[in-house]
Amino acid sequence: MTLALLCFFAFLAGFIDAMVGGGGLIQLPAMLLLLPKGTPVPTVLGTGKVASLAGTSASAFRYLKGLTGVPIRWRTVAVAAVVAGCFALLGARAVSGLNKDLVKPLVLALLVLMAAYTFWRKDFGSLHAPRLHGSRELWTGVALGASIGFYDGFFGPGTGSLLLFAFVGLFGYDFLAASASAKVVNVATNIAGLAYFVSTGQVLYQVALPMAVCNVLGSTLGARVAMRQGTGFVRVLFLVVVSAFILKLGWETLA
């Protein structure tokens, strides 16, 4: 029964994450609640990374296959992905030496600004009009990969939504092209994070593998729904997920 519930939440997390990120808001609390009491938190995170990587890879493939009319700017996305993966490893190693609670108020403030700006700009993410070119675009990709990659390895929640917002706000992509680009970068950070957890023996494979299958199913369906419904639907869902993050982090910060 426990495994069935974990698989259900993995499916739901993959479905939401494929469209706007934020799957961790569903999957991680479910794992903390349902896995046997006394399971170390790093083991919970490592087990969840297997499912997250599988689902993110599936949704990235689905986006790249379906977005035939919107060319992905591969040089920028690839550079951001490689840098993000390297910095995700650094972030994972820094966890033991830094207080993650200090990050929560900063992330909360950033999410509030993201939600306010997206709500205020009704046309935000509706048009695909890349505004950066050449070396400026490349170095912005490096900066994005370094900052988001380190954050994902160190803290994690909201990484997909932060990447989505950055590709829309900084690079000028529409929400669908930004979702595809964000997924590619997120695959790299998940690989780096999972490599760290596997090397330290912190994965419950008997739980991780069934959850991975369900996350892939949810991610594939989520990407299909997003492409069918278009950027307006993704924008609304993005606001809903970011608002949920704000409430969660706000509660934790006040508590």
The position carrying tokens 């569903």 is: 26
The position carrying tokens 């990447």 is: 163
Lowest mean pLDDT among 53-57, 113-117, 177-181: 113-117
- Whether pTM exceeds 0.85: no
Q: What does pLDDT average to over the chain? A: 84
Cβ atoms 34, 6 nearer than 8 A:
yes
Question: CB-based burial of residue 70 (10 Å sphere; 0-12 exposed, 13-18 middle, 19+ buried)?
Answer: middle
Report the percent of the chain where pLDDT is more than 90.
28
Residues in the chain: 255
Mean pLDDT, residues 141-145 taken together: 94
Q: How far apart are CA 10 and CA 213, in angstroms?
A: 9
16-44: buried (b, 16+ CB within 10 Å) or exposed (e) per residue? bbbbbbbbbbbbbebbeeebeeeeeebbb
Cβ atoms 62, 220 nearer than 8 A:
yes
Going by C-alpha positions, the residue among 3, 58, 53, 57 that lies closest to residue 24 is: 53
Q: What is the pLDDT of residue 100?
A: 58
Mean pLDDT, residues 32-52 taken together: 87
Residues of the domain holding 216:
2-254
Number of domains in the chain: 1
Of the pLDDT bands very low, low, confident and very high (cuts 50, 70, 90), residue 91 is confident
Most confident of 24-38, 64-78, 80-94: 80-94
Of the pLDDT bands very low, low, confident and very high (cuts 50, 70, 90), residue 242 is confident
Lowest mean pLDDT among 55-64, 122-131, 202-211: 122-131
**Segment (H or E) for 91:** helix 74-94
Lowest mean pLDDT among 47-51, 172-176, 246-250: 246-250
Q: What is the pLDDT of residue 249?
A: 75
Cβ atoms 9, 30 nearer than 8 A:
yes
Q: What is the pLDDT of residue 103?
A: 63
Judge whether residue 109 has pLDDT over 70. Answer: yes
Judge whether residue 69 has pLDDT over 70. Answer: no
Cβ atoms 128, 177 nearer than 8 A:
yes
Read off the pLDDT of residues 192-210 as tens digits, 9 standing for 90 and up.
Answer: 888 888 988 989 999 999 9
Read off the pLDDT of residues 148-162 as tens digits, 9 standing for 90 and up.
Answer: 999 887 777 678 888
Q: What is the pLDDT of residue 95?
A: 63
Judge whether residue 65 has pLDDT over 90. Answer: no
Of the pLDDT bands very low, low, confident and very high (cuts 50, 70, 90), residue 143 is very high
**Segment (H or E) for 98:** none
Q: What is the pLDDT of residue 158?
A: 74
Q: What is the pLDDT of residue 127?
A: 67
Of the pLDDT bands very low, low, confident and very high (cuts 50, 70, 90), residue 172 is confident
